[in-house]
Amino acid sequence: MDYRFPLIEKLPPYVFAVINHLKMEARHRGEDIIDLGMGNPDLPTPDPIVDKLIEAARNPKNHRYSASRGIPNLRVEISRWYARRYNVEIDPETEAIATMGAKEGFSHLVMALVEPGDKVIVPDPSYPIHSFAATIASCELIKLPIIEGPEATMDALRRLDYSRLQQPKLLVLSFPHNPTTVCVEKEFFEEAVAIARERGYLIIHDLAYADLTFDGYQAPSILQVKGAKDVAVEMFSMSKSYSMAGWRMGFCVGNRQAVAALTRIKSYLDYGMFQPIQIAGIIALRDCDHVVPEIVEVYRKRRDMLIKGLKSAGWDVPSPKGTMFVWAKVPDQFAKLGSLEFAKLLIKNAGVAVSPGVGFGERGDGYVRFALVENEQRIAQAIRGIKMFLND
Ligand SMILES: Cc1ncc(COP(=O)(O)O)c(C=O)c1O
């Protein structure tokens, strides 16, 4: 039998898989590859969170199916966290839902909100699931250029074709932005909310890098805009702020109808996160504010070291105000190659794995993304390799 699965055919193999494969091959040959490819946090989850997980896992009461939308105390803690950080009121009953990471929550939210053929505005380049969730749900993408920064992005949003034919259902935003590291101020969200209200679509804002900000910059929540809950929901991830990537924990807050839709679809799909994880998550949100700056400081030092090192290699790259990434234009002498071929050369000749920008969308070609997920000593080694390669 030769089966065909048209949906799967719409999902190309991850470009990143090519780089991963090359990295594994080189490692099998005994080469030491510094892996700055995937944004997989390397720092341990703070002790109080791990300790609570162990304690809760020993209680048999926590071994049963849990609540799909999150246990009540977790949702209460999420709403307290929003009040404390952003001065935003969230009703834990109707405006908050726990998810198995922002990625799961985001994809199922898109699936819950659209019908086949709906139009979804997504930045290009973007974190892959931001566009592929719409593709999986058989929607049409309207691509929003983002590389030139907030003003140009807002300009493009204003100037989209909003005729009845092109009427979008959703706008996906995410700042600080992966992979471009573009950051915005609250005014950007004020205007986005006003446009969404006028045009009648919903905004999903992914705030995965809420805390990974530097040099005094603070990332706003879209829900700080007055009336934003009428037109927007926000996703948050525990993966970066609390170094809990493997735990699969996040949440979604804001617009009641969207939260109810996600709650409904998830009630069909899952029985909730393992309850000890939810209980440990309460500890993270309630008691661990102090660990976040320590995690951020580690990323800041790595960022500074990489930017300085690249500069000394003759590769001038802007220093990001947010995220755990550095977004670098492919040096002029390699520009013709495109980002995938250049990334292959970096593995082969510098011993450094990065993500080719084209993996995030067409407009990402011409750039590569470094993830700050190796320690300073390894970053120093990466710089030595890059220097030798570029100045060979
Ligand atoms: C923008 C963005 N959203 C979400 C995620 C994943 O979050 P989670 O681990 O909570 O699923 C990432 C991870 O790289 C990301 O870059």
Note the pLDDT tens digit of each residue in 172-224. 999 999 999 999 999 999 999 999 999 999 999 999 999 999 999 999 999 99
Model pLDDT for residues 65-88, shown as the tens digit of each residue: 999 999 999 999 999 999 999 999
CB 296 within 8 A of CB 212: yes
> Contact, 385 vs 313, CB < 8 A?
no
**Which of 331, 354, 100 has the alpha carbon at shortest distance from 237?**
100
Cα distances (Å, whole numbers) of residue 14 to 239, 344, 372: 21, 15, 21
Coil, strand or helix: which one is 143? strand
Q: Is the CB of 245 under 6 A from ligand 1?
A: yes
Among protein residues, the one whose CA lies closest to atom 14 of ligand 1: 39
Q: Is the CB of 254 under 6 A from ligand 1?
A: no
Counting beta carbons within 10 angstroms of the beta carbon of residue 304, is it exposed (0 to 12), middle (13 to 18) or buried (19 or more)? middle
Classify 292 as helix, strand or coil.
helix
Please tell me if the CB atom of residue 206 comes closer than 6 angstroms to any atom of ligand 1: yes
Query: Which pLDDT does position 14 carry in this prediction?
Result: 74
Does 125 sit in the ligand 1 pocket, CB within 6 Å? no
Distance (Å, whole) CA 279 – CA 52: 7
Residues of the chain with pLDDT under 50: none
Choose which residue among 103, 107, 212 to substitute to test ligand 1 binding: the one with the highest number of ligand atoms within 8 A of its C-beta.
Answer: 103
Looking from the CA of residue 239, the nearest atom of ligand 1 is 9
DSSP letters for 211-278: S-B-TT--PPPGGGSTTGGGTEEEEEEHHHHTS-GGG--EEEEE-HHHHHHHHHHHHHH---S-HHHH
Owner of token pair 């679509």: 201
Give the Cα separation of 193 and 187 in Å (integer).
10
Residues in CB range of 3: below 8 A, 6 or more apart: none
Distance 186 CA to ligand 1 centre (A): 21
Distance CA 176, CA 37 (A): 18
Q: Please name the residue whose Cα sits nearest to atom 12 of ligand 1.
A: 208
Q: Whose CA is nearest to atom 16 of ligand 1?
A: 178
**Neighbouring residues of 377: CB distance < 8 A, sequence distance ≥ 6:** none
The hierarchical CATH code for the domain 47-287 is 3.40.640.10
User: If you count them, how many residues does the chain have?
Assistant: 392
Q: Residue of the nearest CA to atom 15 in ligand 1?
A: 208
241 pocket-lining for ligand 1 (C-beta < 6 Å) = no
Query: Residue 226's pLDDT is what?
Result: 97
105 CA closest ligand 1 atom index: 11
Is the CB of residue 130 below 6 angstroms from any atom belonging to ligand 1?
A: no
- Residue identifier of the C-alpha nearest atom 7 of ligand 1: 102
Assess contact for 255 and 242: CB atoms under 8 A. Answer: no
Nearest CA residue ID for atom 3, ligand 1: 208
Across the beta sheet with 119-124, the strand order is 96-99, 250-254, 232-237, 202-206, 168-173, 119-124, 140-145
Q: How far, in Å, from the CA of 129 to the mean position of ligand 1?
A: 9
The label of the residue with tokens 């609540």 reads 67
What does residue 193 show for φ and ψ, rounded to 5 degrees?
Answer: -65, -40
User: Cα angle at 259 between 38 and 74, to 5 degrees?
Assistant: 75
Query: Which atom of ligand 1 is found nearest the CA of 237?
Result: 10
Q: How many other C-beta atoms can be found within 10 angstroms of the C-beta atom of residue 293?
A: 10
Ligand 1 proximity of 101 Cβ (cutoff 6 Å): yes
Q: Is 285 helix (H, G, I), strand (E, B) or coil?
A: helix
Ligand 1 contact, 360 CB (< 6 A): no
Q: Give the mutation target among 97, 110, 178 for probing the ligand 1 site: most ligand atoms within 8 A of CB.
A: 178
Q: Residue 35 and residue 38: Cα distance in Å, rounded?
A: 8
The residue extents of the domains of the chain are 6-44+291-390, 47-287
127 ligand 1 Cβ < 6 A = yes
> Are the beta carbons of 45 and 242 closer than 8 angstroms?
yes
Enter the tokens of residue 350.
């510098």
Q: Please give the distance, rounded to the nearest whole angstrom, from the Cα atom of residue 208 to the centre of ligand 1.
A: 6
pLDDT at 15: 76
Burial 47-73 (b: 16+ CB within 10 A, else e): ebbeebbeebbeeeebeeebbbbbbee
pLDDT recorded at residue 12? 82
Bridge partners, 120 (sequence order): 141, 170
Q: Is domain 6-44+291-390 annotated with CATH 3.30.70.1280? A: no
What is the token pair recorded at 36?
Answer: 């700055």
Task: Give the integer Cα–Cα distance in Å for 283 and 238.
Answer: 12
Select from 378, 371, 380 the least CA-distant residue to 325: 371
At 2 the pLDDT is 93
Reported as half-sphere exposure (CB side, CA atoms, 13 A), residue 136 has a value of: 14
Where do we find the tokens 């993996």? 359
Evaluate: CB of 103 within 6 angstroms of ligand 1.
yes
For a pocket test of ligand 1, which of 99, 237, 251 has the largest count of ligand atoms closer than 8 A to its C-beta? 237
The amino acid sitting at 7 is L
Q: State how far Cα 289 lies from the chain centre.
A: 21
